[in-house]
Amino acid sequence: MIDRFAKKIPPGRRFSRREMLALMGSASAALLGSGCGRSDLKAAVPGCIVRPEQTEGPYFVDEQLNRSDIRSEPSDNSVKPGTSLHLQFQVSRIDGASCDRLGGAVVDVWHCDALGVYSGVRENSRSDARGRKFLRGYQITNASGIAEFLTIYPGWYEGRAVHIHFKIRTEPAARRRYEFTSQLYFEESITDQVHMSPPYSSRGRRTTMNDDDFIFRSGGKQLMPRLTKSAQGYAATFDIGIRIA
């Protein structure tokens, strides 16, 4: 179904957020597989879970920003306001029936600010953030397969549940480059609590819950990180195992 639809799309066409939502409404994101049990794990590996891959969306911009703190705008060093979120990825490689920590992988993260605006793109005449780079960046997993980011809890925009995009890529020097793209989601009760405070509260109540989001319905329950309250805001941990051919 996706291939048939894609044939109608002119090469190089950039889609608005609304067009992308309409496009994805006609096709579900594919699931890569089921989880592998703890009996499959090698010692000291905390998780080996194949997560569903989901759409990249229209707003991935490869800015080559190697940084763990993605809250700031490099052009003027301003920091996006919002509830602090410390995000940690634990990435493992699934090889047959076993898992190994995956070091040297590039993990990209990007998401909207507290008011629903993405950097690097022009959504409409009222939202033009071209040339801006806030809330974007990448980290390379260490020997333990960990990549960490300091960001803010995302806001919302029309038609989507609250989410964060991420992409995992093997280094270009690898024998066969691999890429995995998906999204993270959050518990409704926590999002409600966060969004009651400024600057989120200025937008009012969000209009799309998780279960109303057609992309979330394609495996979103498997894409919810473990959240814990911290003195500064929240800490989120997400374990993921990926199959590299």
Instruction: Tell me what percent of the residues of the chain surpass a pLDDT of 70.
Output: 77
Mean pLDDT of all residues in 128-142:
93
In one-letter notation, the amino acid at residue 33 is: G
Mean pLDDT of all residues in 233-245:
91
Dihedral angle sign, alpha carbons of residues 182, 208, 70, 48: negative
- Could you report the per-residue pLDDT of 28-75, keeping only the tens digit for each? 333 333 333 333 334 343 357 778 999 998 888 888 899 999 999 999
* DSSP string for residues in 16-52: PHHHHHHHHTTSPPPP------GGGPPTT-----BPP
pLDDT the model gives residue 29: 33
pLDDT the model gives residue 244: 79
How far is it, in rounded angstroms, from Cα 227 to Cα 213? Answer: 21
- Could you report the per-residue pLDDT of 137-186, keeping only the tens digit for each? 999 999 999 999 999 999 999 999 999 999 999 865 555 678 999 999 99
Q: Residue 104 region, left (φ>0) first, then alpha (ψ -120 to 50), else beta?
A: left
pLDDT the model gives residue 57: 84
Query: Which of the listed ranges 13-22, 24-33, 70-79, 98-107 does the model predict with the highest average pLDDT?
Result: 70-79
Q: Say which CATH number the domain at 143 has.
A: 2.60.130.10
Instruction: Supply the range of the domain harboring residue 11.
Output: 2-243
pLDDT the model gives residue 176: 63
In one-letter notation, the amino acid at residue 26 is: S
- Could you report the per-residue pLDDT of 8-20, keeping only the tens digit for each? 333 334 444 444 4
pLDDT the model gives residue 125: 56
- Could you report the per-residue pLDDT of 186-222, keeping only the tens digit for each? 999 999 999 999 999 999 999 999 999 999 999 999 9
pLDDT the model gives residue 174: 56
User: What is the domain count for the chain?
Assistant: 1
